[in-house]
Chains A and B, each alone.
Chain A
Amino acid sequence: MRKLLLAIAAGALSFAAQAQMPSYGPSINLEQARKAIAAGQVEARKNGWPMAIAVLDTAGNLVAFEKMDDTQTGSIDVAVDKARTSAIYRRSTKVIQDAVSGGGGGLRFLTLRAASAVEGGLPIVVNGKVIGAIGVSGANPDQDGMVAKAGADALK
């Protein structure tokens, strides 16, 4: 009985989580994308982290990108990949990272096409709608995540 209740509760929770998944709105415009990158760079500079920051629209296409001086070259594609993941799966890449690090069924995320499992990608949500995503790479994943959040929050 207890098991059944738990299962029902878990089912309801997953449904609620799904219901809370914001739908797509109109795509981010260039001005908004610039604002997100600028805010992300303020956070990156404050901490002395050289980073690549990408902003993509709801379809996962590039809208704006900047790479700070001395950013590792590999971060260019990583930043874009993180943003694409958050745009097309409407999730933070941290969610996928956590699922994968939990092992077991969470490993299934590794089979998703074009999914990044490294923190630093966030959907950009304005008025409850996903309008695009930001991806950051250049430092540690949690630091990338901090900069991504600073960028995404600038549009709230």
Chain B
Amino acid sequence: MRTILGAVLLTAFAFVTQAQAQTYGAPITLEQARKVFSAAEAEMKKNNWVQSIAIVDSGGHLVLFQRADGSQFASAKVAEDKAWSATGFKRPGKMFQDRLATGGVETRILLLRGVSAFDGGDPIVVDGKLIGAIGVSGGSGEQDGQVSKAGVAGLK
């Protein structure tokens, strides 16, 4: 009985989560992107990290990008990939990262085209609409996630 209740609850939860999934809004403006970037950059500098920060619009297209001096250049593409994944799948990279880590059937995530299963990619949501995403690369996954989330918070 308890199992059934649990299953029902889980299903209900999944449904609610799905119902809450944001629809896409108008693409993020350059001004909004700069705000997100500035907040992220402040967090990066505070910690003396060097990272690449990419912001894409609701279609996954690059709006703003900056690579800190001395950061690995491979991060330029990784940052954009993280942002693209967060927009295209409407989910943070950390969510894929955690699910993938459980192994088993979740390893199927690796087959999703364009997915980035790394912390450091987060959707940017304004008034319940997804208007773009930020992707950060260059530090550890955790550091990238910290900077990315600071960026998202910069628009609130």
Contact = CB atoms under 8 A, between A and B. Distances in A.
- A and B part of one assembly: yes
Given A30-B67, A30-B68, A65 B62 contact: yes
A65 B29 contact: no
Contacts of B59: 73
B126 interface: no
A67 interface: yes
A62 B63 CA distance: 13
A66 interface: yes
Contacts of B61: 67, 73, 76
B68 A61 contact: no
A59 B72 CA distance: 13
Contact of A67 (B62, B66, B76): B62
Contacts of A76: 61-62
Given A57-B73, A59-B73, A66 B64 contact: yes
Given A69-B29, A73-B59, A61 B64 contact: no
Given A69-B29, A69-B30, A73-B59, A64 B65 contact: yes
A30 B61 CA distance: 21
Contacts of A129: none
Nearest to B71: A30
Nearest to A59: B73
A68 interface: yes
A57 B68 CA distance: 12
Interface residues of B, number: 15
A66 B30 contact: yes
B127 interface: no
Interface string B71-104: 0010010000000000000000000000000000
Given A61-B76, A62-B76, A76-B62, A68 B69 contact: no
A59 B66 CA distance: 16
A42 to B, nearest CB: 14
Interface of B: 29-31, 59, 61-69, 73, 76
Interface of A: 29-30, 33-34, 57, 59, 61-69, 73, 76
8 contacts: A33-B66, A61-B73, A63-B66, A64-B65, A64-B67, A66-B63, A67-B63, A68-B30
Q: Nearest 8 CB-CB pairs, A to B?
A: A65-B65, A61-B73, A62-B76, A29-B69, A64-B66, A67-B63, A69-B29, A66-B64
Given A30-B67, A62-B67, 12 more contacts: A29-B69, A30-B69, A33-B66, A61-B67, A64-B65, A65-B65, A65-B66, A66-B63, A66-B64, A66-B65, A68-B30, A73-B61
